[in-house]
Protein backbone atom coordinates (compact mmCIF):
# COMPACT_ATOMS: atom_id res chain seq x y z
CA UNK A 1 0.00 0.00 0.00
CA UNK A 2 1.42 3.39 -0.97
CA UNK A 3 1.82 6.12 1.65
CA UNK A 4 -0.63 8.33 -0.17
CA UNK A 5 -3.56 5.96 0.16
CA UNK A 6 -6.24 7.37 2.44
CA UNK A 7 -9.01 4.89 1.90
CA UNK A 8 -8.70 1.18 1.32
CA UNK A 9 -11.62 -0.92 0.12
CA UNK A 10 -10.70 -4.57 -0.24
CA UNK A 11 -12.87 -7.35 -1.65
CA UNK A 12 -16.03 -5.92 -0.13
CA UNK A 13 -19.34 -7.79 -0.40
CA UNK A 14 -22.73 -6.56 0.84
CA UNK A 15 -25.92 -8.52 0.29
CA UNK A 16 -29.48 -7.55 1.16
CA UNK A 17 -32.61 -9.63 1.31
CA UNK A 18 -35.55 -7.88 -0.35
CA UNK A 19 -39.25 -8.03 0.58
CA UNK A 20 -39.76 -11.23 -1.43
CA UNK A 21 -36.81 -12.96 0.25
CA UNK A 22 -34.61 -12.62 -2.82
CA UNK A 23 -30.92 -12.10 -2.32
CA UNK A 24 -29.74 -8.73 -3.71
CA UNK A 25 -25.99 -8.52 -4.30
CA UNK A 26 -25.63 -4.77 -3.74
CA UNK A 27 -21.82 -5.01 -3.72
CA UNK A 28 -19.89 -7.90 -5.16
CA UNK A 29 -16.12 -8.09 -4.68
CA UNK A 30 -15.50 -4.34 -4.70
CA UNK A 31 -11.90 -3.17 -4.30
CA UNK A 32 -10.63 0.38 -4.60
CA UNK A 33 -7.89 2.58 -3.19
CA UNK A 34 -8.40 6.32 -2.90
CA UNK A 35 -5.47 8.66 -2.40
CA UNK A 36 -5.26 11.57 -0.03
CA UNK A 37 -6.59 14.71 -1.70
CA UNK A 38 -8.05 12.87 -4.65
CA UNK A 39 -11.41 13.79 -6.18
CA UNK A 40 -13.13 10.54 -7.09
CA UNK A 41 -16.60 10.17 -8.55
CA UNK A 42 -18.63 7.00 -8.54
CA UNK A 43 -21.01 6.75 -11.44
CA UNK A 44 -23.51 4.14 -12.55
CA UNK A 45 -27.19 3.45 -13.08
CA UNK A 46 -29.69 3.33 -10.27
CA UNK A 47 -29.32 0.26 -8.06
CA UNK A 48 -25.65 -0.50 -8.81
CA UNK A 49 -24.59 -0.10 -5.19
CA UNK A 50 -23.29 3.49 -5.07
CA UNK A 51 -25.12 4.47 -1.89
CA UNK A 52 -24.32 1.12 -0.30
CA UNK A 53 -20.62 1.72 -0.92
CA UNK A 54 -20.73 5.27 0.41
CA UNK A 55 -22.58 4.17 3.56
CA UNK A 56 -19.90 1.56 4.20
CA UNK A 57 -17.16 4.18 3.84
CA UNK A 58 -19.11 6.48 6.19
CA UNK A 59 -19.33 3.67 8.74
CA UNK A 60 -23.15 3.71 8.66
CA UNK A 61 -23.17 0.06 7.61
CA UNK A 62 -20.80 -2.93 7.73
CA UNK A 63 -19.82 -5.29 4.91
CA UNK A 64 -20.76 -8.95 4.76
CA UNK A 65 -17.10 -9.64 4.05
CA UNK A 66 -14.05 -7.68 3.02
CA UNK A 67 -12.21 -4.79 4.56
CA UNK A 68 -12.53 -1.00 4.68
CA UNK A 69 -9.75 1.14 6.14
CA UNK A 70 -8.94 4.82 6.53
CA UNK A 71 -5.29 5.69 7.00
CA UNK A 72 -4.70 1.96 7.39
CA UNK A 73 -7.12 1.73 10.34
CA UNK A 74 -10.31 -0.36 9.98
CA UNK A 75 -13.55 1.66 9.71
CA UNK A 76 -15.82 0.62 12.56
CA UNK A 77 -18.40 3.41 12.74
CA UNK A 78 -19.14 7.00 11.83
CA UNK A 79 -16.65 9.76 12.54
CA UNK A 80 -16.53 13.51 11.73
CA UNK A 81 -13.30 12.77 9.82
CA UNK A 82 -15.65 11.35 7.18
CA UNK A 83 -18.25 14.02 6.44
CA UNK A 84 -21.45 12.83 4.73
CA UNK A 85 -23.80 14.91 2.59
CA UNK A 86 -27.14 13.41 1.61
CA UNK A 87 -28.97 13.78 -1.69
CA UNK A 88 -31.24 16.48 -0.32
CA UNK A 89 -32.45 17.89 2.92
CA UNK A 90 -30.43 16.90 5.91
CA UNK A 91 -30.49 20.43 7.37
CA UNK A 92 -32.19 21.05 10.70
CA UNK A 93 -35.28 23.09 9.72
CA UNK A 94 -35.49 24.79 13.12
CA UNK A 95 -31.92 26.14 12.95
CA UNK A 96 -30.62 29.13 10.98
CA UNK A 97 -27.93 28.78 8.30
CA UNK A 98 -25.17 29.73 10.74
CA UNK A 99 -26.48 27.42 13.46
CA UNK A 100 -26.80 24.53 11.01
CA UNK A 101 -23.14 24.98 10.10
CA UNK A 102 -22.18 25.35 13.77
CA UNK A 103 -23.70 21.95 14.63
CA UNK A 104 -20.65 20.39 12.96
CA UNK A 105 -18.40 22.09 15.53
CA UNK A 106 -20.79 21.50 18.42
CA UNK A 107 -20.89 17.77 17.67
CA UNK A 108 -17.15 17.72 18.30
CA UNK A 109 -17.34 19.99 21.33
CA UNK A 110 -15.10 22.68 19.81
CA UNK A 111 -17.67 25.40 19.13
CA UNK A 112 -16.26 27.91 21.63
CA UNK A 113 -12.72 27.70 20.26
CA UNK A 114 -13.59 27.55 16.57
CA UNK A 115 -16.69 29.73 16.36
CA UNK A 116 -15.07 32.21 13.96
CA UNK A 117 -14.81 29.49 11.34
CA UNK A 118 -18.60 29.51 10.88
CA UNK A 119 -18.32 32.93 9.21
CA UNK A 120 -15.33 31.76 7.16
CA UNK A 121 -17.39 28.89 5.73
CA UNK A 122 -20.42 31.11 5.14
CA UNK A 123 -18.17 33.29 3.01
CA UNK A 124 -16.64 30.31 1.25
CA UNK A 125 -20.06 29.05 0.18
CA UNK A 126 -21.11 32.60 -0.75
CA UNK A 127 -24.00 32.92 1.68
CA UNK A 128 -23.09 36.21 3.36
CA UNK A 129 -26.30 37.97 4.37
CA UNK A 130 -28.15 34.66 4.84
CA UNK A 131 -26.63 33.79 8.23
CA UNK A 132 -29.96 34.22 10.04
CA UNK A 133 -32.14 32.61 7.36
CA UNK A 134 -33.90 29.32 8.00
CA UNK A 135 -33.69 26.41 5.53
CA UNK A 136 -37.20 27.04 4.16
CA UNK A 137 -36.21 30.61 3.29
CA UNK A 138 -33.31 29.66 0.99
CA UNK A 139 -33.14 27.81 -2.35
CA UNK A 140 -32.28 24.12 -2.80
CA UNK A 141 -28.82 24.99 -4.12
CA UNK A 142 -28.11 27.22 -1.14
CA UNK A 143 -29.31 24.51 1.25
CA UNK A 144 -26.90 22.00 -0.31
CA UNK A 145 -24.05 24.47 0.08
CA UNK A 146 -24.95 24.79 3.77
CA UNK A 147 -24.96 20.99 4.14
CA UNK A 148 -21.52 20.81 2.50
CA UNK A 149 -20.17 23.60 4.74
CA UNK A 150 -21.54 21.86 7.83
CA UNK A 151 -19.58 18.73 6.92
CA UNK A 152 -16.43 20.56 5.83
CA UNK A 153 -16.12 22.77 8.90
CA UNK A 154 -14.85 19.72 10.79
CA UNK A 155 -11.96 19.51 8.30
CA UNK A 156 -12.77 15.89 7.44
CA UNK A 157 -10.12 13.77 5.78
CA UNK A 158 -12.81 12.73 3.32
CA UNK A 159 -16.10 14.26 2.24
CA UNK A 160 -18.69 11.75 1.04
CA UNK A 161 -21.35 13.22 -1.23
CA UNK A 162 -24.33 11.12 -2.28
CA UNK A 163 -25.83 12.83 -5.34
CA UNK A 164 -25.84 16.20 -3.57
CA UNK A 165 -26.83 17.98 -6.77
CA UNK A 166 -29.40 15.48 -7.99
CA UNK A 167 -32.39 17.67 -7.25
CA UNK A 168 -31.00 20.93 -8.63
CA UNK A 169 -31.57 22.65 -11.98
CA UNK A 170 -28.61 22.67 -14.36
CA UNK A 171 -27.54 26.29 -13.73
CA UNK A 172 -27.55 25.91 -9.95
CA UNK A 173 -25.78 22.62 -10.41
CA UNK A 174 -22.97 24.14 -12.50
CA UNK A 175 -22.56 26.85 -9.90
CA UNK A 176 -22.35 24.35 -7.06
CA UNK A 177 -19.85 22.25 -9.00
CA UNK A 178 -17.50 25.25 -9.16
CA UNK A 179 -18.05 25.89 -5.46
CA UNK A 180 -17.16 22.29 -4.71
CA UNK A 181 -13.88 22.60 -6.64
CA UNK A 182 -13.10 25.78 -4.72
CA UNK A 183 -13.76 24.07 -1.37
CA UNK A 184 -11.72 21.07 -2.46
CA UNK A 185 -8.72 23.30 -3.16
CA UNK A 186 -9.23 25.34 0.00
CA UNK A 187 -9.23 22.35 2.36
CA UNK A 188 -7.41 19.71 0.31
CA UNK A 189 -10.13 17.31 1.39
CA UNK A 190 -10.44 13.96 -0.34
CA UNK A 191 -13.74 14.06 -2.21
CA UNK A 192 -15.85 10.99 -2.98
CA UNK A 193 -18.87 11.99 -4.99
CA UNK A 194 -21.70 9.75 -6.15
CA UNK A 195 -23.50 11.01 -9.23
CA UNK A 196 -25.34 9.70 -12.25
CA UNK A 197 -24.34 12.74 -14.27
CA UNK A 198 -21.47 11.90 -16.62
CA UNK A 199 -20.62 15.56 -17.32
CA UNK A 200 -20.46 16.30 -13.62
CA UNK A 201 -18.03 13.41 -13.14
CA UNK A 202 -15.75 14.58 -15.96
CA UNK A 203 -15.91 18.23 -14.90
CA UNK A 204 -14.90 17.53 -11.33
CA UNK A 205 -12.86 14.42 -10.82
CA UNK A 206 -9.37 12.99 -10.99
CA UNK A 207 -10.78 9.49 -11.41
CA UNK A 208 -14.16 8.13 -12.37
CA UNK A 209 -15.24 4.79 -10.96
CA UNK A 210 -17.89 3.14 -13.12
CA UNK A 211 -20.21 0.68 -11.44
CA UNK A 212 -22.69 -1.76 -12.97
CA UNK A 213 -25.65 -3.45 -11.26
CA UNK A 214 -26.74 -7.04 -10.51
CA UNK A 215 -24.37 -7.73 -8.94
CA UNK A 216 -23.11 -4.26 -7.95
CA UNK A 217 -19.47 -4.10 -8.95
CA UNK A 218 -16.78 -1.81 -10.30
CA UNK A 219 -16.55 -2.35 -14.04
CA UNK A 220 -14.02 0.35 -14.90
CA UNK A 221 -11.85 3.09 -13.46
CA UNK A 222 -10.88 6.03 -15.67
CA UNK A 223 -8.41 8.83 -15.08
CA UNK A 224 -9.40 12.33 -16.09
CA UNK A 225 -6.03 13.89 -16.72
CA UNK A 226 -6.77 17.14 -18.53
CA UNK A 227 -6.38 20.33 -16.49
CA UNK A 228 -8.93 22.56 -14.76
CA UNK A 229 -10.89 24.60 -15.69
CA UNK A 230 -12.42 21.97 -17.94
CA UNK A 231 -14.54 23.09 -20.85
CA UNK A 232 -17.74 21.14 -21.17
CA UNK A 233 -17.74 21.63 -24.94
CA UNK A 234 -14.04 20.81 -25.43
CA UNK A 235 -12.78 17.90 -27.50
CA UNK A 236 -11.17 16.08 -24.55
CA UNK A 237 -14.37 16.43 -22.59
CA UNK A 238 -16.62 15.12 -25.37
CA UNK A 239 -14.28 12.27 -26.22
CA UNK A 240 -14.25 11.18 -22.61
CA UNK A 241 -18.02 11.43 -22.38
CA UNK A 242 -18.40 9.15 -25.39
CA UNK A 243 -16.00 6.60 -23.90
CA UNK A 244 -17.93 6.56 -20.63
CA UNK A 245 -21.27 6.24 -22.43
CA UNK A 246 -19.87 3.25 -24.30
CA UNK A 247 -18.61 1.71 -21.10
CA UNK A 248 -22.07 2.12 -19.66
CA UNK A 249 -23.38 0.50 -22.87
CA UNK A 250 -25.49 3.52 -23.70
CA UNK A 251 -23.81 4.86 -26.79
CA UNK A 252 -23.09 1.99 -29.14
CA UNK A 253 -25.69 3.18 -31.64
CA UNK A 254 -24.77 6.87 -31.56
CA UNK A 255 -23.36 8.48 -34.73
CA UNK A 256 -19.76 9.71 -34.75
CA UNK A 257 -19.53 13.17 -33.16
CA UNK A 258 -18.91 16.15 -35.45
CA UNK A 259 -15.72 17.28 -33.75
CA UNK A 260 -13.77 14.55 -35.57
CA UNK A 261 -12.11 16.58 -38.32
N1 LIG B 1 -31.95 -1.74 2.95
C2 LIG B 1 -32.08 -2.45 1.82
N3 LIG B 1 -32.83 -3.58 1.77
C4 LIG B 1 -32.96 -4.31 0.65
N5 LIG B 1 -32.35 -3.98 -0.52
C6 LIG B 1 -31.60 -2.87 -0.54
C7 LIG B 1 -31.42 -2.04 0.62
N8 LIG B 1 -30.61 -0.99 0.29
C9 LIG B 1 -30.30 -1.16 -1.01
N10 LIG B 1 -30.88 -2.29 -1.52
C11 LIG B 1 -30.73 -2.79 -2.89
O12 LIG B 1 -29.35 -2.89 -3.18
C13 LIG B 1 -29.07 -2.46 -4.50
C14 LIG B 1 -28.10 -1.31 -4.47
O15 LIG B 1 -28.73 -0.20 -3.87
P16 LIG B 1 -28.04 1.25 -3.73
O17 LIG B 1 -26.72 1.09 -3.09
O18 LIG B 1 -29.02 2.14 -3.06
O19 LIG B 1 -27.85 1.66 -5.26
P20 LIG B 1 -27.61 3.09 -5.93
O21 LIG B 1 -27.27 4.07 -4.85
O22 LIG B 1 -26.49 2.88 -6.90
O23 LIG B 1 -28.86 3.44 -6.64
C24 LIG B 1 -30.41 -2.12 -5.11
O25 LIG B 1 -30.87 -3.24 -5.83
C26 LIG B 1 -31.28 -1.83 -3.92
O27 LIG B 1 -32.64 -2.12 -4.20
MG1 LIG C 1 -28.17 5.89 -4.31
What does the pLDDT look like over 147-158, one tens digit per residue? 999 999 989 999
DSSP 82: E
| H/E element, 217 | strand 217-223
pLDDT for the residue 252: 47
CATH superfamily ID and name for 5-253 = P-loop containing nucleotide triphosphate hydrolases (3.40.50.300)
Measured between alpha carbons, how far is 261 from 214 in angstroms, rounded to an integer?
39
Residue with the smallest CA separation from ligand 1 atom 7 is 16
Collapsing DSSP states into helix, strand and coil, what is residue 257?
coil
Cα 225 to the center of its chain, rounded Å: 19
Domain ranges of the chain: 5-253
Q: Which helix (H) or strand (E) holds 186?
A: helix 170-187
Pocket of ligand 1, beta carbon within 6 A: 16, 18, 24, 26, 44, 46-52, 216
User: How close is the Cα of 232 to the center of ligand 1, in Å?
Assistant: 31
| Phi, then psi, of 61 in degrees rounded to 5 | -150, 160
Count CA atoms within 13 Å of residue 178 on its CB side.
Answer: 10
Average pLDDT over residues 220-234: 95
Which pLDDT does position 150 carry in this prediction?
A: 92
Closest Cα to residue 32, out of 59, 16, 61, 12? 12
Confidence of residue 206 (pLDDT cuts 50, 70, 90): very high
Amino acid sequence: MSNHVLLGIENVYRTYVDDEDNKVEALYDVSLEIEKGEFVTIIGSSGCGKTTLLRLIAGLDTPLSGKLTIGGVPITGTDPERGYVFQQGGLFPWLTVENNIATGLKARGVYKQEKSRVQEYIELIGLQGFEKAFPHQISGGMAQRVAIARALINRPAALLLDEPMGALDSFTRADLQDKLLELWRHDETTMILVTHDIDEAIYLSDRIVIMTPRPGRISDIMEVSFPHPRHRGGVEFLTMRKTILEKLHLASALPEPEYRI
